[in-house]
């Protein structure tokens, strides 16, 4: 269910709102390059709760609030009462009296839904086990920069279909009218409810959504190829099993030969070179992973500006 007062999943907003966010993000990125300040959130404070470790999420939100003229508070689960058993609802109500917004990076998606239900201020999903919408907003920004458009493009996601990146990509790319082709090994298919909902969204926006067990089929004539690590946070104990299960799903030169000649490669990072992607691809001329990482900053500033 969408909730425009928060940003919990990619389907909290309609297509027009996402385009507005991308436009705002591009404007602020240009202003940074030109040294033009944009203190839209002067005097505003963002509480950042981290129950999972982070590089890009923490730095981009902290710097983003600084560039917007506001302030960000880093709250580790080791340092606050939430990590010692305080109810999520109590934390939401207390923080609502102190700060203007909450960003949380946590485990089950039900946790962030409970937080947003009891908070009287906006809540932003910095990552849950099921969704990673901030990353996908940055991915859309990157694709639009590189290709000049979103609607009508073909994007292939190769890898674990039942993870947060796959789910948010399926939602976000479908919402923008893209042709989304997902390939995963047996046993790692995307959530069926998310797939059904996203298919309806894709149909409404002249896009399409398909699933295959064949990575070669998924990347056929793709404009964009995206992957993620085979063992996400919380799946490390399954590393050896996953290396075996995903061995035919590596993004390498043989696989990308099926895509369009001018395809671009995206990865949310951190990457395990020579596992889900070869160094030749991620460090090669088609890769835009560092532009994608930089765009986390500006895409999230657009979300912060909208909500705070």
Q: Is 67 marked active-site?
A: no
CATH number of the structural domain 135-291: 3.40.50.1370
How much is the pLDDT for 235? 75
Low-confidence ranges of the chain (pLDDT < 70): 1-2, 83
Q: Is 131 marked active-site?
A: no
How much is the pLDDT for 2? 64
pLDDT in tens, 71-115: 999 999 888 888 678 999 999 999 999 999 999 999 999 999 999
Q: Is 296 marked active-site?
A: yes
How much is the pLDDT for 85? 84
Residue 277, classed as helix, strand or coil, is: strand
- The answer to the question of whether 127 is labelled as a binding residue is no
Contact 299, 137 (CB under 8 A): yes
- The answer to the question of whether 269 is labelled as a binding residue is yes
What CATH architecture applies to the domain 6-132+294-307?
3-Layer(aba) Sandwich (3.40)
How much is the pLDDT for 90? 96
Catalytic residue among 160, 250, 268, 286: 268
Catalytic residue among 67, 135, 144, 171: 135
| Closest by Cα among 292, 286, 308 to 134 | 292
Tokens of 4: 């425009």
Helix (H) or strand (E) holding 183: strand 179-183
Compute the distance between CA of residue 159 and CA of residue 138 in angstroms, rounded to an integer.
Answer: 20
pLDDT in tens, 34-77: 999 999 999 999 999 999 989 999 999 999 999 999 999 999 98
Q: Is 300 marked active-site?
A: no
Helix axes 164-175, 15-33, angle to 10 degrees: 100
Contact 167, 194 (CB under 8 A): yes
Catalytic residue among 267, 296, 298, 300: 296
Q: Is 58 marked active-site?
A: no
Catalytic residue among 6, 24, 105, 223: 105
| Closest by Cα among 123, 76, 117 to 102 | 123
Q: Which residues make up the CATH 3.40.50.1370 domain(s) of the chain? A: 6-132+294-307, 135-291
Compute the distance between CA of residue 46 and CA of residue 38 in angstroms, rounded to an integer.
Answer: 17
- The answer to the question of whether 111 is labelled as a binding residue is no
- The answer to the question of whether 228 is labelled as a binding residue is yes
> Is the overall model pTM greater than 0.85, yes or no?
yes
As a whole number of Å, the CA-based R_g of the chain is 19
How much is the pLDDT for 232? 80
């Amino acid at each position: 269910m969408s909730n425009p007062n928060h940003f919990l999943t990619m389907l909290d907003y309609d297509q027009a709102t996402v385009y507005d966010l991308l436009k705002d993000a591009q404007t602020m990125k240009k202003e940074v390059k030109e040294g033009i300040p944009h203190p839209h959130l002067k005097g505003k404070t963002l509480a950042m709760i981290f129950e999972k470790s982070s590089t890009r999420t923490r730095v981009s939100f902290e710097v983003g609030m600084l560039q917007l003229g506001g302030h960000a508070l880093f709250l580790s689960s080791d340092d606050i009462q939430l990590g010692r058993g305080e109810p999520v609802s109590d934390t939401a109500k207390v923080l609502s009296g102190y700060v203007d917004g909450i960003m949380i990076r946590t485990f089950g998606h039900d946790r962030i839904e409970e937080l947003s239900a009891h908070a009287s201020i906006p809540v932003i999903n910095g990552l849950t086990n099921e969704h990673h919408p901030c990353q996908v907003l940055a991915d859309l920004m990157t694709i639009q920069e590189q290709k000049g458009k979103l609607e009508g493009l073909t994007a292939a996601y190769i890898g674990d279909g039942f993870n947060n990146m796959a789910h948010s990509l399926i939602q976000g790319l479908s919402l923008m009218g893209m042709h989304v082709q997902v390939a995963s090994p047996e046993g790692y298919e995307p959530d069926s409810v998310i797939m059904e909902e996203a298919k309806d969204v894709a149909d409404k926006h002249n896009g399409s959504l398909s699933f295959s067990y064949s990575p070669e089929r998924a990347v056929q004539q793709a404009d964009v190829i995206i992957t993620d690590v085979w063992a996400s946070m919380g799946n490390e104990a399954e590393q050896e099993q996953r290396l075996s299960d995903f061995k035919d799903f590596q993004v390498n030169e043989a696989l990308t030969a099926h895509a369009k000649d001018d395809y671009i490669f995206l990865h949310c990072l951190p990457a395990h070179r020579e596992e889900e992607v070869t160094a030749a691809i991620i460090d090669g001329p088609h890769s835009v992973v560092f532009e994608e990482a930089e765009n986390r900053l500006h895409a999230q500033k657009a979300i912060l500006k909208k909500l705070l």
